[in-house]
Amino acid sequence: MKLPIFIADAFTAQAFRGNPAAVCLLENKLDEDMHQKIAREMNLSETAFIRKLHPTDSFTQKNVNSTLTFVTLSGELKARKVEDGIVLDLPLYPAHYQDVHEVKDLIKTAIGDTMIQDIRYSPDTRKLLVRLSDAYDRSFLENLKVSTQDLLQIENTGKVRGLILTLKGEPGGQTQAFDFYSRYFAPWVGVAEDPVTGSAHTVLSSYWSQELGKKEMRAFQCSSRGGELAISLRPDGRVDIRGGAAVVLEGTLTA
């Protein structure tokens, strides 16, 4: 069996940055065991398997602003190509005030005595959003050591499945201005730190839109690879998240 496969770096225009993902094109359905074997072989946090629902469908889409709909295990995902990247059409999830005493051990284990400005929780995504003090800058977030393995020892009862650390942006000056920064950790699902996380920004977009009073924002995820996202909140309660993409590998998988 020979399958076309690609590795693409998302939310970046540069190779070896952003969020790396393997994309495998299928003509016929594979069993779940084969999916898992291929994903382990790729050894990336994401491996996507794309199969045409109808024989007349095309794997290629060259028209700008045309929308493709993907039927996934998590529901429909819509994406469209624009001149400067790909736009994902995603739901917007509110984050509610969270009692610090309920999560103090988790936060203490993750970031020690780091000063905190705000704590929110998204029940829809089971993500805990921790906003660091405005006294910190981007370099502090980038260099912060997070004890992800120790988080698994904290009693959690499944409430938190992802930890978002976020920080208010800074004026641009001589560098590009961003409205907010973030990092994302999910050791509960086997991801110590995700390089760039679209799903986390469905929560971050809701939070920072309220805090900043803005519908259009630019965000930067401060992982070691780094990733840039352009965010646009829509009147229908959804959010468009735009990012670049760089294909770094194209080949054939033999299985």
Of 230, 227, 231, which is closest to residue 193 (Cα–Cα)? 227
Is 46 an annotated catalytic residue? yes
What is the helix, strand, coil percentage profile of the chain, to 5? Answer: 20, 40, 40
Distances from the Cα of 3 to the Cαs of 33, 43, 49, 57, 245, in angstroms?
16, 17, 10, 17, 22
Task: For strands 245-254 and 96-97, give the pairing.
Answer: unpaired
CA 183 from chain centre, in angstroms, equals: 9
Q: Which is catalytic among the residues 27, 32, 46, 155?
A: 46
End-to-end CA distance of the chain: 5
Of 170, 173, 198, 171, which is closest to residue 184 (Cα–Cα)? 198
Residue 179's identity, in one-letter code, is D
CA dist., res. 28 & res. 237, Å (int): 36
The residues annotated as belonging to the active site are 46
